[in-house]
Amino acid sequence: MTAIEASTDVAPAAKRSILKQIVFRKLSTTIAFGVILAFVLLAIFAPWIAPYDPLKQSFLSINKYPSSTFWLGTDQFGRDVLSRLIYGSRTSLMFGLIAPACAAVIGTTLGVMAGYFGGATDRIISKMIDLLMAFPELLLAIIVSAALGGGFWNVVVVLTIAFVPGFARVARASTLSVRQEPYIEASIAIGVRTPMIILRHVVPNISATIVLLWTLWIASAIRLEAALSFLGIGTPPPNPSWGNLIREGLGNIFGSPWPIVGAGLAITTVVLSINLIGDAARDVLDPNSGER
């Protein structure tokens, strides 16, 4: 905690060195950063990198195994698996960035309100958080999407609801500790209005923690989106999403296992890399978190 807070008011040069410390902490973290960078570039430049149209079906090339023309083979509709994987990285990274960000905004708002105002507000919000936390994320997501259905924004809403409790809990705890600080007391004493205190003094002081949490939850969002798509209640087909690739691959398991192998490896690699970076970030920012 203290290390994170300290890092917010150091000079930009020192900040860069923290990023450097995280990246070059271990060989594995450096590789993980490289992997994430590669996937981000793949997602951004998908139309130029992908060898084929990810939606183009061809009866001439159904269930092909990997070859020099189709590096990862084709699926039951003759679509190029590699191209679908590359476009799928767009879907995954998009959800990975957007959903935790939405959850961070809503969860932080709720958590700050609970922590700052206390009393009945705190009791109601805390009870709701506890209740939602009792459910595994995927189960919560399934319940909500049973009501909402699939589609991009619905999935964003589903993921957001699944992640809000986590952010709210941390924001509440951080706010509780910030609220004890003398500068808050001083602001109240000189008559600063409450919204101003929250925006100017509370939020900036807990933002570093929230941002760290957000980066860690990118991996969860990617996993959860893939799981929902796999269950058929996430990104609607034929749009390429890594979860969809595995779902469709399973329906064609006698035809070709390659879509499953490829998409699963992509999810595992990205999530593993983000987790490695997260571990390194925690070690650098909070050296007291204990030997793990």
Partner 1 sequence: MFSVLIYKLLDAVPTLFLVLTLVFVALRILPGDPALVALGEYATPEQLALFRAQTGLDAPLWQQYFTFLWDVVRLDFGASLISKERVVAVIAYNLPFTISLAFAATALGLIFGIPFGVIAAVRKNKLPDNAMRAFSLLGYAIPDFYLGAMLLIVFALHFQLFPINGGGDGFFDQAYHLILPAVTLAILKVAFLGRLTRTSVLEVLSKDYIRTARAKGAPENSVIYKHALRNALLPIVTGLGLSLLATLSGAVAVELVFNRPGLGSALIKAIAERDYPLIQGTIVVFALLVVVVNVLVDLLYTIIDPRIRS
Under the rule (CB under 8 A), what is the footprint of partner 1?
127, 131, 134-139, 142-149, 219, 223, 226-227, 230-233, 246, 249-250, 253-254, 257, 260-261, 263-264, 267-269, 271-272, 275-276, 290-292
79: left (phi over 0), alpha (psi -120 to 50) or beta: beta
Looking at beta carbons only, is 116 or 163 nearer to partner 1? 163
Smallest gap from residue 43 Cβ to partner 1 (A): 19
Looking at beta carbons only, is 145 or 175 nearer to partner 1? 145
Looking at beta carbons only, is 158 or 184 nearer to partner 1? 158
Which class for 136: exposed (0-12), middle (13-18), buried (19 or more C-beta within 10 A)? exposed
Distance CA 277, CA 255 (A): 37
Smallest gap from residue 247 Cβ to partner 1 (A): 8
Looking at beta carbons only, is 147 or 190 nearer to partner 1? 147
Smallest gap from residue 200 Cβ to partner 1 (A): 35
Helical ranges in the chain per DSSP H: 2-8, 12-23, 27-44, 46-49, 81-117, 119-133, 137-148, 152-179, 182-189, 194-197, 203-231, 242-251, 258-285
Looking at beta carbons only, is 149 or 238 nearer to partner 1? 149
* Long-range pairs for 143-147: beta carbons < 8 A, 24 or more residues apart: 145/228, 145/233, 145/234, 146/233
Helix (H, G, I), strand (E, B) or coil at 269: helix
Smallest gap from residue 236 Cβ to partner 1 (A): 12
Diameter of the chain measured on Cα atoms: 77
Looking at beta carbons only, is 84 or 179 nearer to partner 1? 84
Instruction: Give the torsion through C-alpha atoms of 159, 161, 167, 171, to 10 deg.
Output: 150
Smallest gap from residue 168 Cβ to partner 1 (A): 16
Smallest gap from residue 158 Cβ to partner 1 (A): 11
End-to-end CA distance of the chain: 17
Q: Is the peptide bond before 238 cis (omega within 30 degrees of 0)?
A: yes
Q: Give the CA angle between residues 172, 175, 178 to the nearest 5°.
A: 155
Looking at beta carbons only, is 164 or 246 nearer to partner 1? 246
Place of tokens 């192998």: 261
Looking at beta carbons only, is 169 or 179 nearer to partner 1? 169
Smallest gap from residue 34 Cβ to partner 1 (A): 16
Smallest gap from residue 110 Cβ to partner 1 (A): 16
